[in-house]
């Protein structure tokens, strides 16, 4: 995980049909923790949402073979159930609950050490890649995190 670069996913553990499991480790140090919060470093809730959205996005890219790029459109029922801080291992799952025309709805969850950290309903809209650089970067990231079919 590199919080400052919004690089939230370290590795895809599995991608099976409509479900993805990914893992990440919160960095020991980050400028984010200098402000959130002094003396009590916590991963901000918005970054946990981003982590769930990215896991869901990789699920969609794995399912559509990079035909389109998923973009976050809405977050509902987001709940932050436990604090999570530096060096914590995160297990993130996302499951497609509705496959619409041009959009996908997922139920996503973050766990750490067996404890529920956060969950939300994530809606992503898929559209053609708006720039080839974005598609190239996503394909490179797919190799980095081990998206099935994109091994290094």
Partner 1 sequence: MAAETTATFDKVADIIAENSEVARDSITPDSHVTEDLGIDSLDFLDIVFAIDKAFGIKVPVEKWTQEVNAGEKPAEHYFVMKNLAARIDELVAAKQV
Please tell me whether residue 73 binds partner 1 under the rule CB under 8 A.
yes
Chain mean position to CA 131:
21
**Residue 37 is inside which H or E element, if any?**
none
* Exposure on the CB side of residue 19, measured as CA atoms within 13 A: 7
Please, are residues 27 and 3 in contact by the beta-carbon 8 Å criterion?
Answer: yes
Among 18, 21, 25, 103, binds partner 1 (CB under 8 A): 103
User: Which of these is catalytic: 36, 40, 131, 150?
Assistant: 36
Please tell me whether residue 125 binds partner 1 under the rule CB under 8 A.
yes
Please tell me whether residue 128 binds partner 1 under the rule CB under 8 A.
no
Q: Min. distance of Cβ 69 from partner 1 in angstroms?
A: 14
- Please, which residue, 16 or 99, has the CB nearer to partner 1? 99
Please tell me whether residue 123 binds partner 1 under the rule CB under 8 A.
yes
**Binders of partner 1: how many residues, by CB under 8 A?**
11
In 3D, which of 14, 89, 106, 117 has the Cα closest to residue 54? Answer: 106
Please tell me whether residue 69 binds partner 1 under the rule CB under 8 A.
no
The phi and psi torsions of 37 (rounded to 5 degrees) equal -130, 155
Residue 127 structure tokens: 């559209």
Query: Segment contacting partner 1 (CB under 8 A): 24-32, 38-46, 101-109, 129-137?
Result: 101-109
Please, are residues 117 and 80 in contact by the beta-carbon 8 Å criterion?
Answer: yes
Helical H segments across 23-150, by residue range: 31-35, 45-64, 132-145
To the query of whether residue 131 is one of the catalytic residues in this protein, the response is no
Please tell me whether residue 64 binds partner 1 under the rule CB under 8 A.
no
- Indicate which residues carry an active-site annotation: 36
Q: Where on the chain is the footprint of partner 1 (CB under 8 A)?
A: 73-74, 98-103, 105, 123, 125
């Amino acid at each position: 995980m590199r919080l400052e670069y919004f690089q939230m996913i370290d590795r895809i553990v599995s991608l099976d049909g409509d479900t993805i499991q990914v893992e990440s480790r919160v960095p020991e140090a980050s400028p984010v923790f200098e402000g959130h919060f002094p003396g009590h470093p916590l991963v901000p809730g918005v970054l946990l949402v981003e982590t769930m959205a990215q896991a869901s996005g990789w699920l969609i890219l794995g399912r559509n073979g990079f035909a389109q790029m998923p973009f976050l459109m809405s977050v509902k029922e987001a709940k932050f159930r436990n604090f999570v801080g530096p060096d914590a291992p995160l297990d993130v799952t996302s499951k497609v609950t509705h496959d619409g025309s041009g959009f996908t709805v997922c139920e996503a969850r973050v766990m750490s050490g067996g404890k529920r950290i956060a969950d939300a309903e994530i809606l992503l809209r898929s559209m053609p890649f708006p720039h080839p650089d974005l598609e190239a970067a996503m394909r490179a990231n797919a190799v980095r995190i081990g998206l099935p079919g994109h091994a290094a």
